[in-house]
RNA sequence: GGACGCAUAGCUCAGCUGGUUAGAGCGCUGCCCUCACAUGGCAGAGGUCGAAGGUUCAAGUCCUUCUGCGUCCACCA
């Protein structure tokens, strides 16, 4: 293996690792290979239209950390990748594309348009998958699935048919959320509430018998009055009791409608009288049913008023609203306009205001499914983290409403239903099956037409954990990897996806699809806004990868992942700097170590009795870090694990340990310790920063290593020295080294030692020391000055090129620096011991605190005092 | 209208079951181009832990109320 390059270049290293991974395909998991058993994770499939954004970057980094860790633990860790066909979203994208050619989907026709969709998918569908590779995601790429691939589509049909057989799917005409732009029905979850300031228009409806009398109704959507078929009042409202049953004239239209009484009406809101539009409002729809009212649809599917709108026919709904208000005003029917805040529902795909619209759709009866999902949750079969989301999950299931699953679009799974000419529906696996059924019914062959609609995208993605494993076929993979272990996703998607997957899993597999649901935050910009293209505040992960590296992106992202993550570009510097530090520290260790040594992998291979105290100390600190990192990773607390690693590696290993062993690297045991602790730290860091760790590790091992298959380090207590002991050992190490230097350079005990150096000459050369600087060093007179001859120097000469002076600096430690560190530590310990002593003399504490707490405090104080004394002694030796 | 979350150094956040002197990164000040790393090293300034009460020997950490942000859910026209 060649040396690590002098400067860390993430692009080169990452590209190299990616090529290796692509060539060797190491991440493929086979059922039943490991004695430890399966550990499966399914990716939340990104939309095929997707382009990697920070949300994906976070989500996939989290999963990658988990799966890499589990591999290191020896599980058959399988991470299922794939994409979602994303019905409406994808159709919209392609519609926009053909619009550039002056085409519409209607003009193109269903078949041609669908062809264009598949073409688009073939060309762009793998974009996001490629990008996931760049992020370092170690998915089982051989298993890549798509929600509309053949096997998956079969699963979708099977589910539709089975649910229908079980009486859980029905067809009916109800008020649903309709997007006039997408011209399709939407599920309740797909119509998002957004606060908007609107008006409450108060309109006067006059009595037929006595036009001077009437009622005033208030509405936020005046155009719907064209479809009014009643006015309702509360039966207990004295103001209106005498009017119940009277006929009034609908303004502008002139239709005669009746005043009805219904408990639904709130007497205190508005005027206490409500216009009833059964075909355009869910409440009015219910009233319409209760009172047998007429349902008048006033709008075309695209939001344009139809013939029932009379003079307003042909107007867009909002234009109609303006004109109707004006007309009412002119007719003197408009009593007042009151500003009013209300929540308007908008299409989650195109943000168009959704219209409550009466139409015939397919629905899933959710109550029975939800009850099982709730039971599974209450039995502890499903854990949700953080816990605060549990209630959100629960409440939605408790208040669940039926799910409208048919969509009037063309991209998706065609509903497996055929109709005969009389409109009888035949639910079947194929047209042939439907024919058979029709034949049985009619006693002869009849012409059938398939339902033109497709299924909601989520009607396929709720099957993801088992459909990707081959269901409805029951193969080895399905048996082995289902149920999966954990699901990482965003809280926004609890209703759309998580809860529904639980329902489908229980319904079709008899078991929850995953044990742990971990909900992570939303990635926001520095101002807390969601990142979005339209706001122009999005930071492109690929740009960060290009500039700082995928490791840097991952590291910074996870370090910041508490709740919602506020990201600005500067934050990625932390990750970049860390990767750089890793590289350089490793390079330093490798340069000071004999060939072969760095391949060490067991603490037993070190002679601990002969080991220098600094190394004993760092091993001890390493063992502690290992325990806390492992615990944090087990609990999915990745940012905490990463933080511990950051502090251990940078603060302990680099700032203290490497400084201490500089100049003593010729000791074989020290070399071993330095290498082993570094190697194990690389292992622990690997799930977080897979590229740089694997590259360095491979150098140390002397062969290309796929680090995610190296075993996660095991805590070895016998090599962990007690904290105090190890700290003192560190002091002793420093003192020893300084004594040696004094002896070597003949410095009298009371003379201050200003500086002593470790390190080899080649680094000097690398910095291309100028003569002035060399002179300065020489003037310090504590430096020997001689020619360079050993192996290290040779390599230095190579790097140095034309540098003439080589200055071997001998052993070294910067005494004032170490002194101030130790002094600070002593001061800290003394203060801490003092504080505990104060508490121990607190009468209340002594009389009321539990004995074990008191004892623990006492012991801690004694220990701190002892350590402080030892440190002080050590200090005395230094001065 | 319901539910939840957050308020800790100038900025972004850690601080798990109450118990050492409240931490980190960035920024700032000073010194260092010292031999792995200036994507670096060392030293340092900066916090009455949103406000007010309460529980406790002990509270950033538990309870109550308030204030200010934020998120999700919701068929008051």
- pLDDT (tens digit, 9 = 90+) per residue, A266-324? 888 778 889 999 999 999 998 998 889 999 999 999 989 999 988 899 999 999 999 99
Rounded to an integer, what distance in angstroms lies between the CA atom of residue A94 and that of residue A97?
5
Q: How far is the CA of A381 from the C1' of B68 (A)?
A: 40
Average pLDDT, chain A: 82
> Which nucleotide does the CA of A567 lie closest to, via C1'?
B12
Q: Residue A784 — pLDDT band, cuts 50, 70, 90?
A: very low
Rounded to an integer, what distance in angstroms lies between the CA atom of residue A201 and that of residue A216?
10
Q: Which residue is nearest to nucleotide B2 (CA to C1')?
A: A395
Rounded to an integer, what distance in angstroms lies between the CA atom of residue A137 and that of residue A61?
7
Supply φ then ψ for residue A200, to 5 degrees: -110, 115
Residues 245-284 of A with CB under 7 A from strand B: 264-267, 269-270, 272, 274-275, 281-283
Which residues lie below 8 Å from residue A410, measured CB to CB, with a gap of 6+?
A91, A105, A110, A113, A114, A117, A454
If we measure between CA atoms, which residue out of A44, A31, A67, A30 comes closest to residue A145? A44
Residues 442-461 of A with CB under 7 A from strand B: none
Q: How far apart are the first and last CA of chain A?
A: 45
For strand B, is any atom closer than 7 Å to the CB of A773?
yes
Dihedral (CA of A763, A765, A766, A770) sign: positive
CA distances from A223 to A303, A313, A319, A320, A402 (A): 11, 11, 9, 6, 28
For strand B, is any atom closer than 7 Å to the CB of A654?
yes
Residues 745-764 of A with CB under 7 A from strand B: 757-761, 763-764
pLDDT at A3: 67
pLDDT at A818: 53
Rounded to an integer, what distance in angstroms lies between the CA atom of residue A147 and that of residue A464?
8
For strand B, is any atom closer than 7 Å to the CB of A221?
yes
- pLDDT (tens digit, 9 = 90+) per residue, A768-779? 222 222 333 333
> Which nucleotide does the CA of A283 lie closest to, via C1'?
B75
R_g (Cα) of chain A, nearest Å: 37
What average pLDDT does range A501-522 have in this prediction?
93
Label residue A789 left, alpha or beta by phi (over 0 means left) and psi (-120 to 50 means alpha). Answer: alpha
Tell me, what DSSP letter sits at residue A350? T
Q: How far is the CA of A772 from the C1' of B41 (A)?
A: 22
Rounded to an integer, what distance in angstroms lies between the CA atom of residue A15 and that of residue A28?
20
Q: How far is the CA of A618 from the C1' of B24 (A)?
A: 21
For strand B, is any atom closer than 7 Å to the CB of A230?
no
pLDDT at A473: 92
Higher-confidence position of A853 and A739: A853
Q: Residue A223 — pLDDT band, cuts 50, 70, 90?
A: very high
Which residue's entry shows tokens 């529904």?
A: A500
- pLDDT (tens digit, 9 = 90+) per residue, A795-821? 333 333 332 233 333 333 344 455 555
pLDDT at A79: 97
pLDDT at A795: 34
pLDDT at A534: 60
Q: How far is the CA of A355 from the C1' of B73 (A)?
A: 20
Q: Residue A831 — pLDDT band, cuts 50, 70, 90?
A: confident
- Lowest-confidence pick of A85-89, A168-172, A662-666: A662-666
Instruction: Give the H/E segment covering residue A858.
Output: helix A851-878
CB A448 within 8 A of CB A418: yes
Q: How far is the CA of A818 from the C1' of B30 (A)?
A: 19
Tally Cβ neighbours within 10 Å of residue A355.
Answer: 21
For strand B, is any atom closer than 7 Å to the CB of A218?
yes
Which of A134-152 are b and which e, b meaning 16 or more Cβ less than 10 Å from the residue's Cβ? bbbbbbbbebbbbbbeeeb
Q: Spell out the SS3 assignment of A504-526.
A: HHHHHHCCCCEEEEEECCCEEEC
CA distances from A754 to A91, A657, A783 (A): 73, 21, 12
CB A616 within 8 A of CB A670: no
Strand B nucleotides where any atom sits below 7 Å of a protein CB: 3-6, 12-15, 19-21, 24-26, 33-37, 39-44, 56-58, 70-77
Q: Is the pLDDT of residue A498 over 60?
A: yes
- Decide: helix, strand or coil at residue A751: coil
Rounded to an integer, what distance in angstroms lies between the CA atom of residue A212 and that of residue A249?
12
Q: Helical H runs in A568-689?
A: 572-591, 613-634, 638-646, 659-661, 668-685
- Decide: helix, strand or coil at residue A515: strand
pLDDT at A49: 85
Q: How far is the CA of A528 from the C1' of B67 (A)?
A: 21
CB A325 within 8 A of CB A199: no
Q: Is the pLDDT of residue A137 over 70?
A: yes
Which residues lie below 8 Å from residue A709, measured CB to CB, with a gap of 6+?
A26, A71, A72
- pLDDT (tens digit, 9 = 90+) per residue, A834-877? 778 878 887 888 888 878 788 888 887 887 777 676 666 655 54
Which residue's entry shows tokens 């095929």?
A: A48
Structure tokens at A297: 């649809």
> Which nucleotide does the CA of A189 lie closest to, via C1'?
B73
CB A318 within 8 A of CB A60: no
Q: How far is the CA of A605 from the C1' of B62 (A)?
A: 50
Give the count of alpha carbons within 13 A of A627, CB side only.
9
Q: Is the pLDDT of residue A757 over 80?
A: no
pLDDT at A809: 32
- Decide: helix, strand or coil at residue A3: coil
Put simply, whether the predicted model's pTM sits higher than 0.95 gets the answer no
Q: How far is the CA of A562 from the C1' of B49 (A)?
A: 18
Rounded to an integer, what distance in angstroms lies between the CA atom of residue A580 and that of residue A586?
10
pLDDT at A617: 79
Dihedral (CA of A145, A146, A147, A149) sign: negative
For strand B, is any atom closer than 7 Å to the CB of A662?
yes
CB A513 within 8 A of CB A482: yes
For strand B, is any atom closer than 7 Å to the CB of A239?
no
CB A39 within 8 A of CB A75: yes
Q: What angle do CA A228, A234, A237 make, to 5 degrees?
A: 130
């Amino acid at each position: 293996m060649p040396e690590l390059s002098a400067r860390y270049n993430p692009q080169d290293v990452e590209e190299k690792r990616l090529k290796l991974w692509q060539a060797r395909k190491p991440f493929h998991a086979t059922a039943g290979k490991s004695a430890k058993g399966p550990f499966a994770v399914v990716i939340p499939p990104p939309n095929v239209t997707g382009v990697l954004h920070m949300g994906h970057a976070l989500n996939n980094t989290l999963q990658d950390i988990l799966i890499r860790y589990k591999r290191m633990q020896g599980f058959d860790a399988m991470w299922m990748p794939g994409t979602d066909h994303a019905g409406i979203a994808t159709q919209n994208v392609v519609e926009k594309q053909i619009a550039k050619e002056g085409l519409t989907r209607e003009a193109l026709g269903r078949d041609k348009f669908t062809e264009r969709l598949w073409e688009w998918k073939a060309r762009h569908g793998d974009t996001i998958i490629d990008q996931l590779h760049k992020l370092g995601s170690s998915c089982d790429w051989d298993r890549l699935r798509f929600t509309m691939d053949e096997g998956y589509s079969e699963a979708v049909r099977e589910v539709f048919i089975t649910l229908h057989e079980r009486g859980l799917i029905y067809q009916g005409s109800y008020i649903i959320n309709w997007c006039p732009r997408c011209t399709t029905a939407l599920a309740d979850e797909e119509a998002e509430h957004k606060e908007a300031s609107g008006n409450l228009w108060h309109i006067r409806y006059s009595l037929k018998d006595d036009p001077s009398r009437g009622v005033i109704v208030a509405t936020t959507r005046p155009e719907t009055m064209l479809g009014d078929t009643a006015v309702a009042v509360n039966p207990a409202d004295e103001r209106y009791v005498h009017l119940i049953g009277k006929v009034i004239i609908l303004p502008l239209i002139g239709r005669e409608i009746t005043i009805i009484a219904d408990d639904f009406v709130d007497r205190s809101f508005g005027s206490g009288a409500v216009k009833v539009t059964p075909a355009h409002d869910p409440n009015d729809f219910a009233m319409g049913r209760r009172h047998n009212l007429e349902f008048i649809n006033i709008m075309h599917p695209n939001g344009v008023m139809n013939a029932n709108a009379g003079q307003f026919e042909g107007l867009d709904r909002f234009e109609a609203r303006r004109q109707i208000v004006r007309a009412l005003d002119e007719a003197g029917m408009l009593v007042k306009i009151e500003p009013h805040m209300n929540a308007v529902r908008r299409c989650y795909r195109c943000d168009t205001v959704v219209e409550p619209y009466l139409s015939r759709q397919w629905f899933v009866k959710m109550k029975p499914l939800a009850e099982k999902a709730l039971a599974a949750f209450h039995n502890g079969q499903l854990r949700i983290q953080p816990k605060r989301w549990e209630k959100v999950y629960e409440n939605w299931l408790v208040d669940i409403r039926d799910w409208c699953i048919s969509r009037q679009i063309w991209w998706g799974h065609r509903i497996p239903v055929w109709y005969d000419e009389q409109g009888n529906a035949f639910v079947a696996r194929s047209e042939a099956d439907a024919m058979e059924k029709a034949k049985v019914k009619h006693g002869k062959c009849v012409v059938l037409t398939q339902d033109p609609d497709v299924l909601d995208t989520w009607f396929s993605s709720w099957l993801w954990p088992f459909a990707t494993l081959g269901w409805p076929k029951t193969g080895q993979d399905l048996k082995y990897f289902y149920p999966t272990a954990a699901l990482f996703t965003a809280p926004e998607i609890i209703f759309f996806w998580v809860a529904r997957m639980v329902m489908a899993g229980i319904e079709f597999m008899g078991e929850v699809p995953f044990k742990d649901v971990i909900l992570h935050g939303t990635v926001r910009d520095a101002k807390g806004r969601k990142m979005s293209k339209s706001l122009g505040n999005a930071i492109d992960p690929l740009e960060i990868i290009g500039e700082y590296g995928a490791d840097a992106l991952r590291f910074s992202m996870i370090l910041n992942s508490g709740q919602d993550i506020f990201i600005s570009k500067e934050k990625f510097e932390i990750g970049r700097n860390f990767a750089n530090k890793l590289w350089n520290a490793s390079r330093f260790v490798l340069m000071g170590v004999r060939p072969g040594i760095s391949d060490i992998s067991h603490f037993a291979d070190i002679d601990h009795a002969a080991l220098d105290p600094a190394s004993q100390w760092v091993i001890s600190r390493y063992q502690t870090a290992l325990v806390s990192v492992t615990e944090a990773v087990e609990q999915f607390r990745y940012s905490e694990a990463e933080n511990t690693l950051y502090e251990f590696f940078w603060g302990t290993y680099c700032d203290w340990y490497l400084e201490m062993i500089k100049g003593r690297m010729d000791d074989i045991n020290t070399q071993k310790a330095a290498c082993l602790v570094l190697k194990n730290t690389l292992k622990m860091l690997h799930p977080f920063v897979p590229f740089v760790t694997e590259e360095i590790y491979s150098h140390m091992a002397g062969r290309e290593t796929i680090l995610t298959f190296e075993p996660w380090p095991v805590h070895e207590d016998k090599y962990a020295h007690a904290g105090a002991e190890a700290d003192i050992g560190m002091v002793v190490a420093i003192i020893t080294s300084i004594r040696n230097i004094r002896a070597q350079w003949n410095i009298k005990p009371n003379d201050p030692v200003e500086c002593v150096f470790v390190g080899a000459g080649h680094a000097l050369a690398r910095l291309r020391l100028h003569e002035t600087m060399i002179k300065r060093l020489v003037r310090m007179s504590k430096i020997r000055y001689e020619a360079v001859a050993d192996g290290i120097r040779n390599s230095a000469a190579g790097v140095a090129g034309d540098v003439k002076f080589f200055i071997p600096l001998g052993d070294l430690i910067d005494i004032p620096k170490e002194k101030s560190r130790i002094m600070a530590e002593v001061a800290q310990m003394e203060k801490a011991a003092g504080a505990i002593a104060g508490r121990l003399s607190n009468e209340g504490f002594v009389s009321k605190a539990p004995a074990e707490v008191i004892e623990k405090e006492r012991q801690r104080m004694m220990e701190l005092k002892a350590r402080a004394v030892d440190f002080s002694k050590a200090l005395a030796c230094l001065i």
